[in-house]
Structure 1
Amino acid sequence: MSAQRPPVTAPSTSPTPSPPARHADPLHPTDLELARLRAVAVTTPGHADRRIRGDATTQPDLYAAEFVRRLLTQNYQTSREQHLQWVQSEAAQTREPLVVGLVPHDLRDRLAVYSVTQTTSGPPPIPSPQEWRQLSALEAYTTVRIDRVEEPMAWSNAVAAGRITDLGITGRQVAATVTQHTVKDGRTATSSSSVALTLNLQGPPTRATWGFVTAVTYTSVPVTAS
């Protein structure tokens, strides 16, 4: 700018987390990253009645928790495109250089969806179309429990140092437990992972309510399988 996949097997030793999925760096995007961003089709926003509403839109912690809960709650027998359209309906843009950097203005409307579907390493929060179909064949879906929301230290330091110019932009890291449910050969299985998603949000005073700008990092560590 890293996600539930087919059921994992419980490791015989303590699980080793994969490196955080690195999203394309908007401050210094490579030519390849810009080409990948440009290749992403513009996603039409979903129905307004599916958007986050109420108190969750008025506070960044509440919004971050609800956005991540909905983002990672995935029913693979429904349309992946519909899920992307919901992400786009929550999208907000910023001019903050520390967030969008050298991303061309005409590509910034693709950044929200791009950041949750494409990474330069590791799996993204939303599986690829092929993986989505494979999970659909397993009648898979996920449930999510939000464990913690906090402001990343790096973001707090940037604010304290006066490096943030857009008063409406902020950062949050959300920790959650994601449980994937599947059915294979008539047997139900579950697998849980501990995930962490760092994201940027845009809200007051720049815009009236909070919205999603981009995912920064995503990690998923297998915890249990049954």
Structure 2
Amino acid sequence: MSANSTRMGSFRRVVQRNDEKWWVPVPCVPSSGLTEKARKHLRHKRECANQIHKAAMSINNSVLSEMEIPDSYMASLPKSGRASIGDPIYRYMYTTEKFSPEYLLDCLNIASEHEALELADRVEASMYTWRRKACMIHSKSSWSMVKDLMSDVDRSDKNHILAERAESLLFSLKQRYPELSQTSLDTCKIQYNRDVGQAILESYSRVLEGLAFNIVAWIEDVFFVDSTTRNQD
């Protein structure tokens, strides 16, 4: 062993983590842990990165919401919103007088990000299916026309109520899982988008969002190792 590696070994302590991301490097900290000044500095950097992450996420969501929904997505929607989300969720959304998306999410016991994303896709598809049905009396099929007609829809209509509840459920789902991957609709929008300005802003904010999230996660890793090291001492 070289003199340099010996010095490093005596100065730093590596704590192995038992988690799924085995390929991520484990931080090293001094054997006595970080100084209070270093911890304060890292907390400040974490807060800055967290604010950047929130801003980038907000910008990305805003840009995606402004993108036109491709006709191909509307054409691929199921004929029944009920079939898309399943009977248990549909019954609660349709029969309950005071709809609570948070209560519904608690009952679903979502176990993974994959399950959450799958649910988001199904809820989003059912939402647009019900919106389209609510506007069918106008016999216009393209989304741009449907969107223009939403203000004229009878708000007591069953399809309109279900669409609003699906929208609130989707919002709560994304709030509960803020790092959720893009839905099928988001991916479809990006694929068919022809607005160069929107494309640049969406991709830039998405990259910045991912980078800021990683920085926060890396700082959290350092704090984890620091805490473990000090507790061992």
Q: Which structure shows the higher helix fraction?
A: 2
State whether TM-score is above 0.5: no
With the length of structure 2 as denominator, give the TM-score of the two structures.
0.29
Q: Which structure shows the higher strand fraction?
A: 1
User: Which is greater in Rg?
Assistant: 2
